[in-house]
Amino acid sequence: MKKVLIGMSGGVDSSVSAILLKEAGYEVIGTTLNLFPNVSCCSYIEVKDICKKLGIAHYILEGKDEFSKYVIDDFINCYSNCKTPNPCIECNKYLKFGLMYERAKELGCDYIATGHYAKTKYSEKYKRWILKKSKATLKDQSYVLWNIPQEMLQHIIFPLSDFESKDEIRKIAKDKNLSVASKPDSEDICFIPDGNYKKFLEQNSNLKPKEGNIVDTNENILGKHNGLYNYTIGQRKGLGISYKEPLFVIGFNKDKNELIVGVESELYKKEIIINQINLLLFDEIKSPVKVKVKTRYSTKEADAEAVQISDNEIKITFDEPQPRITPGQSAVMYIDDIVVGGGKIR
């Protein structure tokens, strides 16, 4: 019997995933990551109750130090350098598919699993294991999984990959009389449950309100800001500027402590460079390849051409200019429903 370690958050997705794995004949072990002092994204008691009901073992995996180093520090560093981070992507790389994978090997597990909506499989065409979108297109989470090491894909199971909607998952939970069947999805950053990331930064870093000029691309002063970390590319609200047409945040000058704004047309970019790249479908991209690219989790894919320009950089040229390209966010490349790879927008 194959053994699998599944990350369990106390939500309906991971709970149903554990059920599906057990019904498929795996020996299932549940684990919950303990990541942040005084803040928990789940109820350990609730998870233990679910595991007891399913008849599977459960362990709490300590990861506070790793979470602080790889997720919290990155979050603060990004905002300190006028970038907008996605902490879930860092957590996936270093905790859920890093620390948890190491724990799985210690426990003699053949696989790890999570409740993500994505799919892994072996491709005869590409002669390697690949990461694909799930069938639940509206819930697909392949975007936040681009930096999983390629060699790990064959050891990952996503039990929800072939379901088409969250309603199907909730029905399974209800049929199994799980208390989490109607539990709402969490959309907050787990370590900022009140959603106030500005307060979190001020309480946990050296970032504090610091007034500076709001300028246009010609360096005309249009107003004042109260700290660059309070703003992100594409932001329109909260600028406090009266102008003949809507203004948006289009950039930052950290050295001068200036917030740069412009009209909507100035939000668009034709080319971007991504670094910290991780390729899953190819070992490298020597010559230009046609791809579709997502530059934020919530944005639509855009047609583009990608080519590697160094060991750790890829240039992406869009067929049509794209808005709100944000340094610090991830750009993820696809061919059809397969993840080619991704990187951080420079």
Active site residues: 91, 190
Measured CA to CA, the distance from residue 330 to residue 147 in angstroms comes to 10
Residue 86's φ and ψ, nearest 5 degrees, are: -125, 95
User: The tokens of 300 are what?
Assistant: 């639509």
7, with CB counted inside 10 A (0-12, 13-18, 19+), is buried
Is residue 223 within 8 A of residue 239, CB to CB? The reply is: yes
SS (H, E, C) the chain: CCEEEEECCCCHHHHHHHHHHHHCCCEEEEEEEECECCECCCCHHHHHHHHHHHCCEEEEEECHHHHHHHHHHHHHHHHHCCCCCCHHHHHHHHHHHHHHHHHHHHCCCCEEECCCCEEEEEECCCCEEEEEECCCCCCCCHHHHCCCCHHHHHHEECCCCCCCCHHHHHHHHHHCCCCCCCCCCCCCCCCCCCCCHHHHHHHHCCCCCCCEEEECCCCCEEEEECCHHHCCCCCCCCCCCCCCCCCEEEEEECCCCEEEEECHHHHCEEEEEEEEEEECCCCCCCCCEEEEEECCCCCCCEEEEEEEEECCEEEEEEEEEECCCCCCCEEEEEECCEEEEEEEEC
**Residue at token pair 């590697």:** 308
